Structure 1
C-alpha cells in the first residue's frame, strides 16, 4: 500500500499527467494564459527540486543539523500537481463539492509525504519543505484562476483524461530521475563520488 501511495509522487506518473493537464487546461479553461501559468508552476517545482539535489550530491550543500539533502521530489511534485488536477476535473460540480474535490487533491500529497517517511526515503525536513514548495506553487496557480470559468467534463472525457495515468499506476514503473541527477551532479562538480546522506551526517558527529 505504501508503495502505491508513494507512486503518486513519481515522475514517471506525474510528468505525462502534467502534459495531459496542459492540454485539458487549454481546452476547458476560459483563461487562455492558464496553460502557461501551469507550465511555469510545474517546471518551477521540478527545477527547484533538481537544483537542490545537484547542490547536495555535487557540492555537499545541505544541512547536517536538519538532515536535509534537498527537497523531496515526490512530495513537491505531487503537491504541485494533484490539487490542480482535482480542481480541473471538478468543473461540473457545485462550489461545495468542488471544494471537497480540491481538498482531496491536497490530501494525496500529504499521504505521499508520509509514505516517503515511513519507507525511509527522506527525512522530515525534506518532506515538509517539499510539501511547502509544491503547495505554494499549486495554491498560487489556483488563486490566479479564481475568476476563470471551467467547462465540465463528460464521464467519457474524464475516462480518457485518466486513462494514461491509470495505466502508469497499474504498471508501477519508477522514473530514474535520482540516478540521472546523481550522474549529472558528479559531472558538474567534477567528482567521482556523489555526496551521500552518510557523508553529511558525519559532519554532525
Structure 2
C-alpha cells in the first residue's frame, strides 16, 4: 500500500469518525428493538475501553508510566476504537441476514480494524506494541459486546446503512485533523501539575542512557523508522 493509502486508512480509526456512526446505529438499535439492552451493552463496553485507553495515556503523559523495552507509551486509541466498533457495527447492519453472512460481516470488520492497527505503525504514530494492545483491547470489547448483547433480527433501513457508509467515506478525506491527542495531553498536564507532558523521546533517551551505563545493547526498534527519523530528540 502507498503512503497516501495508509494515511487515509488510519483516519478510519478516529473517534470523531467512528463515534457518530456508532451513535447513529445505537439510536436505531434502541428504537427498533423491544429493549435497549443491545445498545446499552455495546455502548457500555466501548465506553469502558475508551476510559481505560485514556487513563493509560494520561498515566504516561502525566506520570511517566511507560515501558521503554517495548517502546510503549500508551494504548493506541485508533486501534482500540476500530476493533471495538467496526465488527459490531457491521454485524448490526446485517442483523436480518443469515448466520453465515453475519459471521462474515464480523470477520470483515475485524480484518479492517486489524489493517487500521497496522496503519498506525506505518504512519509512525505508534509502536507495534501500542497498536497491538489497542487492537486486542478493542477486539475483546467487541467480542464481549457481541456475546452479551442480543441483536434483534430487524431489517436495517437503507437510510441507516447508506448514511453510515457515506459518513465514513466522506469524513476520511474531508474531516479536520483529530484533536483527541492534544486534549489528552492537556488533561494530563492539568491533572499531574507538570509544566509539559512527558514524551516518548524522553523515555527513550533515559532508557538508552541506562542501557549504555550497563553495557547492554539497544533494542532493535532504536534503528526503526519511528525512532530513526527523530534521533536528534533522543540524544
**Shared topology, TM-score over 0.5?**
yes
Tell me which residue corresponds to 1:100.
104
Deviates more, 1:187-196 or 1:152-161: 152-161
Task: State the Cα deviation string for residues 122-158 of structure 1 (Å, max 9, x = none).
Answer: 011101110111001110000113x543201243442
Paired residues in the alignment total: 204
CA shift, 1:13, in A, is: 0.2
Tell me which residue corresponds to 1:67.
71
Tell me how far apart the structure 1 counterparts of residues 196 and 161 of structure 2 sit (CA, whole Å): 46
Tell me how far apart the structure 1 counterparts of residues 25 and 62 of structure 2 sit (CA, whole Å): 33
Tell me how far apart the structure 2 counterparts of residues 157 and 18 of structure 1 sit (CA, whole Å): 11
Q: Which consecutive unaligned segments of at least 5 residues does structure 1 have?
A: none
The structure 1 residue matched to 2:203, chosen from 188, 191, 200, is 200
Residue 188, structure 1, aligned to residue 191, structure 2: yes
Tell me how far apart the structure 2 counterparts of residues 170 and 93 of structure 1 sit (CA, whole Å): 31
The answer to whether the 8 A contact 1:41-1:141 is kept is yes
Tell me which residue corresponds to 1:56.
60
Deviates more, 1:31-40 or 1:69-78: 31-40
Residue 116, structure 1, aligned to residue 120, structure 2: yes
RMSD: 1.6
The structure 2 residue matched to 1:164, chosen from 167, 179, 184, is 167
CA shift, 1:169, in A, is: 2.6
Tell me how far apart the structure 1 counterparts of residues 159 and 77 of structure 2 sit (CA, whole Å): 32
The answer to whether the 8 A contact 2:58-2:187 is kept is yes
Residue 151, structure 1, aligned to residue 154, structure 2: yes
State which structure, 1 or 2, has the greater radius of gyration over its C-alpha atoms. Answer: 2
Deviates more, 1:72-81 or 1:20-29: 20-29
Q: TM-score, normalised by structure 1?
A: 0.93
